């Protein structure tokens, strides 16, 4: 990851270690049937993605022995039996999804971040911009905590290329300006990266996290969300990695609103 140091502003030395935050979105800004949009994913230390990728490779070998590397883990496809998941028994598909989420729940090396926005709460503003701001702030604060504990790390945000068509593209292009407007992104690199989910198991984790989170908020189905919720960034039992933005008059009893 040394090369990405070139993006860093001059405040920190280039050989500083990095935390990578992989993000994906779920839910459509345009589709009126979706009341929530979600931006979510996982932050890991730069030396860890290889280990996490191997864990998904192992599940893939069991599900699709003919071409495990070609099996892409995407929440919507796994649950709906679409693309390469077509023809695989539902029980087996769901077991694979659960197993992937259990990899996260078992590892103390992963920090999950999720921003859930009820579209009506921010209308007519762009809910994705709001979610992105929330996540950037929370990730920045997480890095600030590490820094205060004597463990200075820079943060790099890596997004799924498919979210390039959403407003995230523009937000990323203007990240430097926007980041300053948000006022407090001290620890993030200036330019988020877009990568192809086919080539990156980490983005596939982010997709599954985002999809499971939206299932929880949109369908009241906590079966997958509950598996990894123990890895949502938290300190001393207080959760910082999850935000839920709702209309002012709406009561909510979700994991984070309960905490307030
Ligand atoms: Zn809530």
| CATH number of the domain within which 223 lies | 3.30.420.10
Tell me the CA–centroid distance for residue 116 and ligand 1, in Å: 8
Cis peptide preceding 157, ω within 30 of 0: no
Q: DSSP letter at 37? A: E
Does residue 179 contact residue 136 with C-beta atoms inside 8 Å? Answer: yes
189: in domain? yes
Q: And the tokens for 140?
A: 């920045």
165: in domain? yes
What was the pLDDT predicted at 13? Answer: 52
Domain that holds residue 138: 2-245
Tell me the CA–centroid distance for residue 192 and ligand 1, in Å: 28
Tell me the CA–centroid distance for residue 248 and ligand 1, in Å: 11
- The CA angle 25-31-32, to the nearest 5 degrees, is 125
Could you report how far apart the first and last alpha carbons of the chain are, in Å? 38
Does residue 24 contact residue 197 with C-beta atoms inside 8 Å? Answer: yes
Tell me the CA–centroid distance for residue 243 and ligand 1, in Å: 8
How long, in residues, is the chain? 260
260: in domain? no
What was the pLDDT predicted at 49? Answer: 93
For the chain (260 residues), the mean pLDDT of every run of 10, in chain order, is 38 72 91 92 95 96 93 97 94 98 96 96 90 92 93 91 75 74 74 86 97 97 97 94 93 90
Locus of tokens 């909510």 = 252
126: in domain? yes
223: in domain? yes
**Phi and psi for 196 in degrees, rounded to 5?**
-85, 125
What was the pLDDT predicted at 6? Answer: 35
What was the pLDDT predicted at 181? Answer: 67
Does residue 136 contact residue 182 with C-beta atoms inside 8 Å? Answer: yes
Question: Which helix (H) or strand (E) element contains residue 211?
Answer: helix 201-219
Tell me the CA–centroid distance for residue 242 and ligand 1, in Å: 10
Tell me the CA–centroid distance for residue 40 and ligand 1, in Å: 15
Tell me the CA–centroid distance for residue 113 and ligand 1, in Å: 15
256: in domain? no
255: in domain? no
What was the pLDDT predicted at 180? Answer: 64
Tell me the CA–centroid distance for residue 115 and ligand 1, in Å: 11
Q: How far apart are CA 154 and CA 1, in angstroms?
A: 11
253: in domain? no
Domain count, the chain: 1
What was the pLDDT predicted at 161? Answer: 85
């Amino acid at each position: 990851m040394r090369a990405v140091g070139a993006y860093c502003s001059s405040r920190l030395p280039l050989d500083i270690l990095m935390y990578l935050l992989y993000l994906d979105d779920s839910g459509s800004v345009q589709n009126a049937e979706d009341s929530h949009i979600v931006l979510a994913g996982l932050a890991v230390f730069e030396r860890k993605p290889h280990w996490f990728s191997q864990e998904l490779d192992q599940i893939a070998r069991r599900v699709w022995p003919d071409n495990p590397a070609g099996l892409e883990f995407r929440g919507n496809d796994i649950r709906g039996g679409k693309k390469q998941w077509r023809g695989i028994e539902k029980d087996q598909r769901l077991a694979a999804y659960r197993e992937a989420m259990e990899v996260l729940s078992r590892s103390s090396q992963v920090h999950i971040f999720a921003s859930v926005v009820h579209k009506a709460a921010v209308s007519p503003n762009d809910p994705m911009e709001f979610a992105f701001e929330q996540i950037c702030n929370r990730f920045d604060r997480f890095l600030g905590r590490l820094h205060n504990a004597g463990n200075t790390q820079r943060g790099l945000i890596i997004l799924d290329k498919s979210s390039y068509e959403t407003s995230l593209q523009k937000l990323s292009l203007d990240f430097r300006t926007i980041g300053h407007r948000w006022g407090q992104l001290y620890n993030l690199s200036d330019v988020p990266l877009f990568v192809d989910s086919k080539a990156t198991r980490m983005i596939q984790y982010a997709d599954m996290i985002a999809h499971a989170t939206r299932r929880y908020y949109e369908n009241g189905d906590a079966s997958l969300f509950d598996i990894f919720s123990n890895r949502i960034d938290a300190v001393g039992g207080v959760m910082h990695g999850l935000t839920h933005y709702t209309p002012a008059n709406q009561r909510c009893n979700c994991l984070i609103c309960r905490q307030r």
